[in-house]
């Protein structure tokens, strides 16, 4: 079974996603119906415990029904956590706050049965990803071909090690984190501080030189267009909470003026 997210970014296409902070299977189905390519589920800052694989099974099912892909931010690159989430059927995961290439290599290895010509650390499971849907004689090949792990570059330590990080085989993508970068660079909250902007440009350029797709968060249509022009391929364009707030507040304003 194909992972449309990984296939698209490997083909050089752009994918558009939205965050679901409600972790509602229904919202995920609606996103799919709308044509949203990926659903950002954030287990770094919120969410049910990722150790509960049944939560991921429900959410993965909703994504399959809706025709979209889950894009799961884990709280850390702990290999035991990565394996659990993949075994429930999730295929796109990413790790926040990475510091070193070694840490990135360990995380990628946890997603692969074979990594860089050596045995990987994925681990043979008999969970949902194997017994249903993705199952079959070619389970191992399919998983290694379709699972995708990325990292967030949002720490100065990672920026310093960026070339080594980008040379880790099978790294799927880099997502840029301007907010944490602003904190780490001593300009907390100032995402448009010239030094932060310059660092983001450097990260983007290094990733593209290494042929690693990049992702950013943009909600303004002009900024989305500019991000695509800058070569970013993974763009988060909104989310459920912000959409609820803006739609209902506009509607209430309209009702009040009747
Ligand atoms: C950041 O900007 O730090 C992020 O993690 C974006 O989600
Ligand atoms: Mg961050």
User: What pLDDT digit, counting tens, does each position of 89-132 carry?
Assistant: 899 999 999 999 999 999 999 999 999 999 999 988 777 766 66
> Which ranges of 100-220 does DSSP label H, i.e. alpha helix?
101-109, 128-131, 139-146, 156-160, 162-166, 178-184, 194-209
Q: Is the CB of 57 under 6 A from ligand 1?
A: no
Give the C-alpha separation, 204 to 215, whole Å: 9
Q: Is the CB of 21 under 6 A from ligand 1?
A: no
7 CA distance to ligand 1 centroid (A)? 24
252 CA distance to ligand 2 centroid (A)? 33
Residue 136: the pLDDT is: 62
| Segment 213-234, tens digit of pLDDT | 999 999 999 999 999 999 999 9
Give the C-alpha separation, 121 to 149, whole Å: 14
Q: Quote the number of domains for the chain.
A: 1
Contact 110, 119 (CB under 8 A): no
Integer angstrom CA distances of residue 78 from 94, 107, 141:
11, 7, 23
Q: Choose among 39, 53, 64: nearest CA to 88.
A: 53
Q: Whose CA is nearest to atom 1 of ligand 1?
A: 177
Residue of 71, 73, 94, 152 best suited for mutating to test ligand 1, as the one with most atoms within 8 Å of CB: 152
Domain span at 227: 4-256
> Can you give the pTM of this predicted structure?
0.95
29 CA distance to ligand 2 centroid (A)? 26
Q: When comparing pLDDT for 13 and 125, which is higher?
A: 13
CATH of residue 215: 3.20.20.60
């Amino acid at each position: 079974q194909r992972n449309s997210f990984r296939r698209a970014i490997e083909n050089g296409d752009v994918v558009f996603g939205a965050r679901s902070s409600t972790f509602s299977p229904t919202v995920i189905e609606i996103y799919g119906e709308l044509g949203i390519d990926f659903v950002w589920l954030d287990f770094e800052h919120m969410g049910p415990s990722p150790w509960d694989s049944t939560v991921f099974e429900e959410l993965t099912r909703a994504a399959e029904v809706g025709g979209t892909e889950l894009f799961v931010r884990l709280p850390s690159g702990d290999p035991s956590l990565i394996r659990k989430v993949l075994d429930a059927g999730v295929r796109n995961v990413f790790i926040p706050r990475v510091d070193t290439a070694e840490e990135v290599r360990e995380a990628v290895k946890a997603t692969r049965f074979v990594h860089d010509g050596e045995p990987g650390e994925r681990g043979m499971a008999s969970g949902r990803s194997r017994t249903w849907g993705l199952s079959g004689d070619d389970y191992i090949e399919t998983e290694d071909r379709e699972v995708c792990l990325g990292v967030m570059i949002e720490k100065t330590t990672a920026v310093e090690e960026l070339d080594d990080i980008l040379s880790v085989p099978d790294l799927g993508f880099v997502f840029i984190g301007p907010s944490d970068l602003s904190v780490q660079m001593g300009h907390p909250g100032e995402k448009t501080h010239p030094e932060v902007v310059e660092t983001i440009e450097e990260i983007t350029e290094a990733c593209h030189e290494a042929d690693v797709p990049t992702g950013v968060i943009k909600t303004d249509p002009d900024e989305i267009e500019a991000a695509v022009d800058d070569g970013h391929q993974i763009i988060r364009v909104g989310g459920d909470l912000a959409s609820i707030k803006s739609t209902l507040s506009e509607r209430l304003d309209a009702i009040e003026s009747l």
